[in-house]
Each structure stands twice: as C-alpha cells, then as structure tokens.
Amino acid sequence: MDFKTDFKADFKNDSRDKVDEPVVSTPNDSSSDFDDDAALRALGYVPSFKREFSNLSTISFAFSIMGMCSSISTTFDTPYVLGGPAAVVWCWILGSTMCFTLGCSIAEIISAYPTSGGLYMASASLCPKRYRAPVGWVVAWLNLLGQVAGVSSTEYGLSLMIWSAVSICRDGTFHASQGQVIGLFAGLLVLHGLLNCLPTKHLAFITKYFVFVNVGTTLLIIIVLLATTPRSAMNPPQMVFGTQGLSNGTSGDGIHSWPTGLAFLFGLLR
C-alpha cells in the first residue's frame, strides 16, 4: 500500500463524521478538480469551496510568498556582516536544500488530504488519537503566530525598501524617521488587508502571472549587476570557495566574539 492510499484508508476507517452528501460541481470544473473531489469523498469530506486558483495561480502565489527579490534584499546584511560573503552563498544553498526537502514532505502529506486547511487534517491524522487535541492546538497557534510574524516582517521590510528607494533617488540626502517607517508599514498592512478581502476569483487573476514578474525581475537584477559591475570591483573566487570570504562579525565593544563556525551559521537567519 502506497503512502497516500495508506493515509486515506487510515483516516476513512477512523473518521467520526462521515457524510454521503453529493458534491455539486460546475461545468467549469477541470478533471483535476474532479479527482480531488473524489479523493475528498473517499475521506468522508464534502468540498464546499470553489477551486478558483489554477495551477499557475497557485505557483505564482507560492512565489509571491517566497518573494525572492524582497526576502534576499531585506535579509542580506545579517549573514554578510556576521559570517562574511561565504556565509551568504553557502548558507543560502544549505537553507534552500533544507526548505526543499521540507516542502517535498509537506507536499506529499497535503496531497493525500487535498482539503482547505489540510494542515490541521494532516496533523490530526498523523498522530495518535489521544494527542490529536493538543497537537491541533499547538499547530493552530504556531500557524497563527507564523502568519502574524511573516506578514508583519514582510510589510516592515517593504516599508524600509520604499524609503531606501526614496533616499537613493535623492542622492542619500533623505533619511526616513522611525515614525515614517512605521506609518508606511501600517498603511501597507491596511492596503494589503483590503486587497485580500477581494473574492477568490479576483485574487487568482491578480496573482496569476506574478511568477513571471518575480523570476524575471530576479534574473534581470543578476544580469544587470554582472553587466554593469567593473571587473576590478568583483571579488576573486576565494571569497566564496576559500577562507577569504569567512569573517566573524559577532564581536564589538570589547565583547568576545562567538566561534567563527557559529558566526557562519548565522547566515541561515536569512
């Protein structure tokens, strides 16, 4: 018995709330939608939400969460200052590998439970019965805290990026105050909160092609940097593949520094 079949059979045999209500589908449903709905019926779950996000919209939504340009630029200074250029490169590769393996595991689990809020159904189905309540409680609160912290940090980073762009346009003569940063941060939260109140159909349309903008912008930045940076200003390969790129920026003001190895691992904070 394969992974998905085993999970589905376990949940079906253990489900306390089974229903036999028919699923009402619209003429616009694709074959994949029917497959997912059939899987849900096998779990004793009646779908009630419209599937208005296409595969492209879902992928674009995932890229918008990752935000390659914004996440790299807002967290670039931490590994560079604490661990050096080598920490920036190798910790990014190490962190990406870890995230990839985690993402593959979550994708395999959630694909076995194609539900809205699959996080909770999967966590409840993968733990013993007596632990389902505390596990569900912990998962729900961790998810809530992660959503709050993730959205807040993203909006705050965007506020800093906007004011930094203003400073660059004014040749560095403008410096935003903390009040201006927080004010723009609050305004962005309200604006994006209102955008997320739109119907799912409109959100899917807005998000649909963002993957091309995100990836295209990232590639454009890489090409422009390589094309416009003088050869004399480029670092030698030893900065990444040797010890020249390792530094320890954890010391200062007479405070003893952390070990260089730990300073290097601070690069994972990005």
262 pLDDT band (50/70/90 cuts)?
A: confident
Angle at 59 between CA 100 and CA 1, to 5 degrees: 60
Residue 81 has pLDDT above 60, yes or no: yes
Residue of 98, 93, 150, 72 lying closest to 264 (CA atoms) = 93
What's the CA gap between 90 and 241, in Å, rounded? Answer: 9
Find how far residue 135's CA is from the centre of its chain.
Answer: 23
Token pair listed for 42: 């096998």
**32-36, 99-103, 232-236: range with lowest mean pLDDT:** 32-36
18 pLDDT band (50/70/90 cuts)?
A: very low
The mean pLDDT value for 139-162 works out to 88
**pLDDT for 223:** 92
Average pLDDT over the chain, rounded to an integer: 78
Q: What is the CA radius of gyration of the chain?
A: 24
**pLDDT for 201:** 84
Residue 14 has pLDDT above 60, yes or no: no
CB-based contacts of 75, cutoff 8 Å, min separation 6 = 269, 270
